[in-house]
Amino acid sequence: MSAQRKQEAVLRILRGEDLELVSRELGVTAAALSGWRDSFLAAGAASLKSRPEDDRDRELRAMREKIGEITMANELLEAKIERLEGGRPFPAAEVETMSQTVSASAQRPYGLARVCKVWRLSRATVSRHRQAANRPTAPRRRPGPPGAMADAELAHCIRALLEDSPFHGEGYRKVWARLRYAGVRTSPRRVLRVMRAHGLLAHQRPGAPRGPRAHDGTITTARVDEMWGTDMTAVATGEGTAAVFIAVDHCSAECVGIHASPQATRHEALEPIRQAVRGSFGEVGKDVARGLSIRHNHGSQYMSADFQREIRFLGARSSPAFVRAPEGNGCAERFIRTLKENLLWVRWFDTIEDLRQALLEFQTTYNEHWLIERHGHRPPATIRREQNVNMQNAA
């Protein structure tokens, strides 16, 4: 965009036009417009000057990187000496933990390759032990009493419940929870056995064997609006392929933003974030979402300068998942799977506008009726309302 158009955009904002409306009309992020306005008011021609990198700068950068490598190697050697003096071995779990530890001097993880090299360990041996530890064991079936209701009657209740449910592909745990809400008391394992015997289980796609996890922590939070996960998928319509962008709260699993567009650009990827900010914080403005983290993958839309600049403008912090580890963005991935199984794969949309309206209806249905197991089989909207009430009472 030329300097003249930037100046006209800044003057429109200074005359009182809404920042978000100007941003949508020009296809420029609100963060970029705010930066132009600040630079214009501060006579930013001088502040935008930059000096090109010369040979001396490149040499200094290379020296800093070399010093960081040597410092990290020395830290690993000190840790190795401490373990040898204490007579402690080097199990695979400890090696993996050390590889994910962030160096205090370099401010980056050591990495498995560096740890194995400095500690003189075989990476193949570490990987083999890690795979053996993660190998699943065959579950055991416990015999138990059938209960007061016969299997045939229980199967009839389950079939009626599945037909009345607004969702497809719910597992036996959620079926068990809905039976309890309906007044039918039985065990989850019996529900699984009856559904398997009568062919009522949802189809499961056989996947490839999963390797070692890139992390062994948790991505859920204790409070709403602490972390949102965002991702995109695609669906065919009568007008061509459409991109669907979503945003999900990592505490309540609530869909806080959803959007469909014919283009999968960085500006369209920001739309569910803006919806969520307006819904949770009241407006789209500078630092209104301070304390929020945005979990995303390494797609070009999310790693673009405009996307990162916009979330910084809102006060949020970028929290990218590990490379080639989709479980790091598991909340958004799980919602997209639910969205596909219950809407995108079971309906055809003639226009993208029809798709957009169906997405908004599904967002309401999901937030009010989808059961979340880790919250005691309660809907996401209920979790948000309870936390908001608790915060109001505490205030």
pLDDT of residue 215: 57
228-to-67, 223, 285, 287 alpha-carbon distances in Å: 37, 11, 18, 16
227-394: which CATH topology?
A: Nucleotidyltransferase; domain 5 (3.30.420)
For the stretch 102-144, pLDDT in tens is: 887 777 888 888 888 887 777 787 777 777 767 766 555 546 6
Tokens 């394992």 correspond to what residue? 189
Q: Where are the domains of the chain?
A: 3-41, 55-133, 151-197, 227-394
Nearest to 148 by CA among 178, 183, 200: 183
What percent of the chain stands above pLDDT 90? 36
Residue of higher predicted confidence among 94 and 299 = 299
pLDDT of residue 29: 86
pLDDT of residue 276: 94
Whole-number mean pLDDT of the chain? 84
Q: Which of 13-17, 140-144, 227-231 has the lowest mean pLDDT?
A: 140-144
* Alpha carbon of residue 305 to chain centroid: 19
* Whole-prediction pTM: 0.58
Nearest to 161 by CA among 200, 131, 189: 200
Nearest to 377 by CA among 385, 369, 387: 369
pLDDT at 71 over 70: yes
For the stretch 349-360, pLDDT in tens is: 999 999 999 999
Q: Are 245 and 363 in contact (CB under 8 A)?
A: no
Q: Report the phi/psi class of residue 87: left, alpha or beta, with left for phi > 0 and alpha for psi in -120 to 50.
A: left
